[in-house]
Amino acid sequence: MTKAIERPEQFFLQKYGLSTSSLESAIGGVLGKRIDYADLYFEYQTSESISLEEGIVKKVSKNISQGVGVRAIAQEKTGYAYSDDITTDQLLVAAKTARYIAEEGGSKGSVPVQVTAPSRNLYPVSTPPIEIPVEQKIKLLEEIDRIARQYDPRIKKVMASFSSEQKIVLIANSQGVVTGDVLPLMRLNVSCIAEEQGNRQVGTFGGGGRREYSYFLDERRFEEYAMEAARQAIMNLSAIDTPAGVMEVVLGPGWPGILLHEAIGHGLEADFNRKGTSAFSGKIGQRVASELCTVVDDGTLPWRRGSLNVDDEGTPTGRTVLIEKGILKGYLQDRLNATLMKMPLTGNGRRESYAHSPMPRMTNTYMLAGESSPEEIIRSVRKGLYAVSFGGGQVDITSGKFVFSASEAYLIENGKIGSPVKGATLIGNGPDVLTKVTMVGNDMSLDSGIGTCGKDGQSVPVGVGMPTIKVSELTVGGTKS
């Protein structure tokens, strides 16, 4: 077992022979007269994926990817080039391409840099999850398979997967800063198919984070995941048609926070707001939610899937208040947009890998707890929908219209939770959906660590969270009109 890497710059130095002076000359090579900023992003990622179905492990795979991305910025222009050969020669070739955006040539020779370590580690692990022997993970998946099948004889198929990765990054920029990070990440996922008289239904649950492998064993979490997936599949066997139209909707705590991610979060990413293409453009200081709503994006939560010590431009992550008591407060920034908008960095410059240039992205986005008890919230609804689990969502940031799809939902009748209903898509308008939040629960929780956000073809891990809330009207895309 290899020792956890503590010094990313040493890792790249030893593996690829990159010295501080080669970084200095590479950055100097990108910088020209008209280039305002340049950076290099080195990445070495190992990932592993194991999946089980029909009671046996069908897939074991391991992947190594490495590369360097070179970026040059001149005002609003970005030049980006990458290579999967980490050599001084390739760096210079990439630097020349990135620099193309500034019409004039002439490099600066060299820029002095200094290595700084992130001031904290939000995800210290004694053994990275990827280093845990494959045999142990296979045993865990087999155990999950057994537990899910035991839950109910109607559970006919169980699919379980474990994926983990370890990413080592080093970021060097033209302001002389060199910083690095080592990021563990893991995820355990269980899907069950239940069958009864030709009716087949699916249930899914999972979790993870930037954590120690033992997290799944503590409190027998893996067992909870298996039972939860099985429970959902069985519950869906009795689901009836979902009503269609506008109704009161109660969203459960945790993962339903995807509402915030779609309805609010994307629209507050700085790139869209700098360009004036977001439905939230120019709305800072205005009311966009009811007084009960305070929403933050926080990349500093220990162990979370969406957390980062530093963002992918080397800026320490922070906690950004997006909405405070209903008033729009701030945007999520990366370096390019913060500079052009003359606003402070928020540590939200993220990228999928060295093959992608950074953009403003969310980390962990959640709503702070309110004062109502969840029971009280449900009791207050005469006729409506209670949605507790969701699949994915999507938003058109320009029109503000967003959707998210329930995978577990119930009717509420006269203040009581009634029949389960088939999954349905909920649709609303980002700038006004939160103005219709009339109750906020005291049960704020974060999701279990399963979120992946896509934007412009780039996927990054994120987190969401929310207490139970009541939205006075939301359009439910059922089939029963």
Question: Interface with another protein includes 396 (CB under 8 A)?
Answer: yes
Q: How far is the CB of 408 from another protein (least distance, A)?
A: 12
CA distance 202 to 324: 38
Question: To which H or E segment does residue 193 belong?
Answer: strand 177-196
- Nearer Cβ to another protein (101/295): 101
Binding mask 227-266 for another protein (x = CB under 8 A): ---------------x-xxx--------------------
- Nearer Cβ to another protein (369/395): 395
Rg of the chain taking only CA atoms, in angstroms: 24
Residues near 69 by beta carbon (within 8 Å), at least 6 away in sequence: 40, 41, 43, 80, 81, 82, 94, 351, 354, 355, 356, 357
- Nearer Cβ to another protein (414/481): 481
Residues near 2 by beta carbon (within 8 Å), at least 6 away in sequence: 131
Among 20, 22, 78, 380, indicate the residue that binds another protein (CB under 8 A). 78
- Nearer Cβ to another protein (76/375): 76
Residue whose token pair is 């089939």: 479
CA distance 65 to 68: 10
Q: Which stretch binds another protein (CB under 8 A): 27-35, 153-161, 326-334, 339-347?
A: 153-161
Question: Interface with another protein includes 472 (CB under 8 A)?
Answer: no
Residues near 274 by beta carbon (within 8 Å), at least 6 away in sequence: 337, 340, 341
Joined tokens for residue 368 = 């702070």
- Name which of residues 338 to 367 contact another protein (CB under 8 A): 355, 357
Q: How far is the CB of 162 from another protein (least distance, A)?
A: 13
- Name which of residues 28 to 57 contact another protein (CB under 8 A): 49, 53, 56-57
Among 134, 235, 284, 417, indicate the residue that binds another protein (CB under 8 A). 134
Among 66, 372, 448, 468, indicate the residue that binds another protein (CB under 8 A). 66
3-state secondary structure at position 255: helix
- Nearer Cβ to another protein (276/285): 276
Joined tokens for residue 90 = 């390739």
- Name which of residues 402 to 441 contact another protein (CB under 8 A): 402-405, 422-425, 427-429
User: What one-letter code names the amino acid at 278?
Assistant: S
Q: How far is the CB of 317 from another protein (least distance, A)?
A: 24
Q: How many residues bind another protein (CB under 8 A)?
A: 76
Q: How far is the CB of 223 from another protein (least distance, A)?
A: 21
CA-nearest of 359, 394, 401 to 271 is: 359
Residue 158 main-chain phi, psi, to 5 deg: -130, 130
DSSP category for residue 125: -
Strands 56-74 and 37-53: antiparallel
Question: Interface with another protein includes 451 (CB under 8 A)?
Answer: no
Q: Which stretch binds another protein (CB under 8 A): 121-129, 173-181, 390-398, 461-469?
A: 390-398
- Nearer Cβ to another protein (279/332): 279
Question: Interface with another protein includes 280 (CB under 8 A)?
Answer: no
CA distance 107 to 206: 50
- Name which of residues 177 to 196 contact another protein (CB under 8 A): 193, 195
Burial per residue of 135-157, b for 16 or more beta-carbon CB atoms within 10 angstroms, e otherwise: eebbebbeebbebbbebbebbeb
Query: What is the number of other CB atoms lying within 10 angstroms of the CB of residue 467?
Result: 27
CA distance 275 to 378: 41
Q: Which stretch binds another protein (CB under 8 A): 109-117, 151-159, 291-299, 369-377?
A: 151-159
Among 81, 289, 369, 453, indicate the residue that binds another protein (CB under 8 A). 81
Question: Interface with another protein includes 101 (CB under 8 A)?
Answer: yes
- Name which of residues 198 to 217 contact another protein (CB under 8 A): 200-202
